[in-house]
Structure 1
Amino acid sequence: MSVIEAFFSALTSGDVEKVLPFIAADATIVGVRATSDPRLPIYGTYHGQEGMRAFLGELRAAFETEAFEVEDFLESPKLGFASGHFRHRVRHTGRLFVSTWALRAKLCDGKIEHYLFFEDTARLEAAFGVSTAEAA
């Protein structure tokens, strides 16, 4: 099983402690956008295993996951990709957030050292009832 496959297997178990061994001590975790926004708690950059713990905590607090599917994996010794789709209900608005997603992960010694998750941010912001678009 590849690092990315094992990571997602641990992630879907719901047990954060099973996820952390796949995260490098000095890892960078980018939750969709590197810059944080208090209205969108999953945006931001986190560091190391405690950062992954915090990021996953933000996800659990923000969403009730109704579906999360991993469809594709691709991995080399230094780089991993995965993609799929999900359906989350935003806890504080009750709105659905449905999106395809992709993960690009830089790998080192069998651990994720850089995690960057992509999803439909327009749909995310609509589900949260906010907009980060800059005024023209």
Structure 2
Amino acid sequence: MTNRGDLLPPSTDDLAAMATAIIDSFPPSFQALIRTIPVRVQEWPEEAQLAELGLDDPLDLTGLYAGVPLGHGDGSRLPRSEPDMIYLFRQPILFEWCQRGSAISDVVFDVLTHEIGHHFGMDEAAARRLEEGDPEG
């Protein structure tokens, strides 16, 4: 008999656990570079996040890196008011999962590595190549 829990989509806690497991799978030297960036899983992007990116449809935003990319600081020694953060948005991720028909862990991996690419200063095209497994382009 099928367990009812097997039929439910992953919760925000489930997606957060997947993100942690993905980060834990990276080589230790790489983990050290990203371990300080919190990953927050929310149901939906906020209106302000969508507006900042010029997006109307919240399903278009599966993840977001909010912060100052490495090497792009303003030179100030003052602490930033907001810490760097990677956001994963559950509902858009679930939508993409249904569209792609691949494992949910593959979708989370792709979104997370894309946002990590932005942390390292990659533009959208370079982050997309990283997500697709072709960082050299």
TM-score by length of 1: 0.30
Quick check: which one's strand share is greater?
1
Q: Which has the higher contact order (CA 8 A, sep 6+)?
A: 2
Q: Which is higher, the Rg of structure 1 or of structure 2?
A: 2
TM-score by length of 2: 0.30
